[in-house]
Structure 1
């Protein structure tokens, strides 16, 4: 984004990404965000990770702009400086590419004699990190439980899941939701 980080204030906390990974925040920085003629200064958390986007405009920006977001329509409505309602539209092609990028994972077979012992690795990891994970998994293959059968002596209640449902309640059938092919 070609921004000088000299104004960044150090901050020690972590953020959880969309992929579930936890990243340490390097600090926070105040940046002016200009959207359709409306400019607000917003505090951003800075992390050092590879992503397909430069910034995420979250609830602080939504509240500052008094915007009404719609993830379904991939847009946000807000009032312009002149009082008119402005619609900011998302880039659907870019959002689709992002979803495809998140799904780009591949499986690595750790044990050549047992193809069920595989690890799913995301493409967002560097080759060096992938190699380190594979080496670690191969070195410690006997440590990992690849199925519940591998956990001898452990109570099955730890690996099973039950729903605490009142049998006197009638099940609710929800309306079918159609999803696009992508």
Structure 2
């Protein structure tokens, strides 16, 4: 009978200990003009690391930690990462593969109204203004109830109802989306402004620029701009500026041959690839680029070809086209280097 009484007492204590998790959570009424506009960006403590820019996303089925945040954790925590090979499927169906997963203690709220749980994060390599995304799994486990209209999240704790207000200063970089006009097919949308800043140093070519770090001090930017404008002739602004490398150079009266020759296998005959048709847009751009290279003296016409390779048009990040050449046959005809370059990080 004593054992039965102890078991019943333990169950009653457990029910009392869990009673605070069933506390009722109510949000106060709010006028429409006072409603919060922006995503729910909060702060939390993860593995004893204070982490900002934590996005509470009700549409995410898992917890995400971006690689740039993971790399800032202590080495002891990074060593606990587990390698997994599960794909993440986005809203539009695109797939991205994770770099692994890590389990951390996550604490939200302010003392004494805090809630701590163990959460597993999937590590993803992607450019994002956020450090971490808390999905529905974390909300269910930590009892988080979000209210985008109030700009806050509430959760139950042993000492009452905890509350976290969204960081309003993150609204601009995380939530501001400009409405752009519909672009023609094939034209890429404008990219989000990155950590680089455009610098125009040649008045004769106002459409060309160089990139410098946006985080540089103002005085350093001014000196750097003055230095680049002073030595702007070192840049090739047009194809005609690419004068090439002389076939011979003289150093201390001694001549050195600078010509390059492919080391091909003697038994391999030159291959003439069959002509591949390009789409009208790509063909037009390729013809324009070839005409510019011929005009600058970089290319010349060859009437009797021994080896022919097709051009390949590759889309650039700014929406333009880059003309490349399919050198797969030439690569097969050349022996591989037994001493390749070391891995450069």
Change (3 A) 1:18 1:65: same
- Per-residue deviation, residues 80-110 of structure 1 (Å, max 9, x unmatched): 232x11111111231332122x5498999xx
Query: Would you say the 8 A contact 1:12–1:24 is kept in 2?
Result: yes
Give the 3-state SS of the residue equivalent to 2:104 in structure 1: strand
Structure number, greater radius of gyration: 2
**Residue aligning to 2:85:** 12
**Residue aligning to 1:149:** none
**Residue aligning to 2:146:** 69
- TM-score, scaled to structure 2: 0.32
**Residue aligning to 2:319:** 134
What is the CA–CA distance in structure 2 between the aligned matches of 1:124 and 1:23, rounded to whole Å? 23
> Which of residues 109, 124, 132 is equivalent to 1:55?
132
**Residue aligning to 1:23:** 96
Change (3 A) 1:30 1:59: same
What is the CA–CA distance in structure 1 between the aligned matches of 2:123 and 2:102, rounded to whole Å? 7
Change (3 A) 1:97 1:106: farther
What is the CA–CA distance in structure 2 between the aligned matches of 1:13 and 1:131, rounded to whole Å? 30
Long gaps (5+) in structure 1: 109-114, 140-182
- TM-score, scaled to structure 1: 0.56
**Superposition map of 1:33-182 within 5 A:** 33-36=106-109, 37-82=114-159, 84-100=160-176, 103=178, 118-123=187-192, 131-132=316-317, 134-135=319-320
What is the CA–CA distance in structure 1 between the aligned matches of 2:140 and 2:85, rounded to whole Å? 24
Q: Which has the higher contact order (CA 8 A, sep 6+)?
A: 2
**Residue aligning to 2:201:** none
Give the 3-state SS of the residue equivalent to 1:119 in structure 2: coil
Count of aligned pairs between the two proteins: 129
What is the CA–CA distance in structure 2 between the aligned matches of 1:19 and 1:94, rounded to whole Å? 25
Change (3 A) 1:103 1:49: farther
Query: Would you say the 8 A contact 2:99–2:125 is kept in 1?
Result: yes
Instruction: Tell me how large the CA RMSD over aligned residues is.
Output: 3.7
Change (3 A) 1:68 1:118: same
Give the 3-state SS of the residue equivalent to 1:63 in structure 2: helix
Long gaps (5+) in structure 2: 1-68, 197-314, 324-345
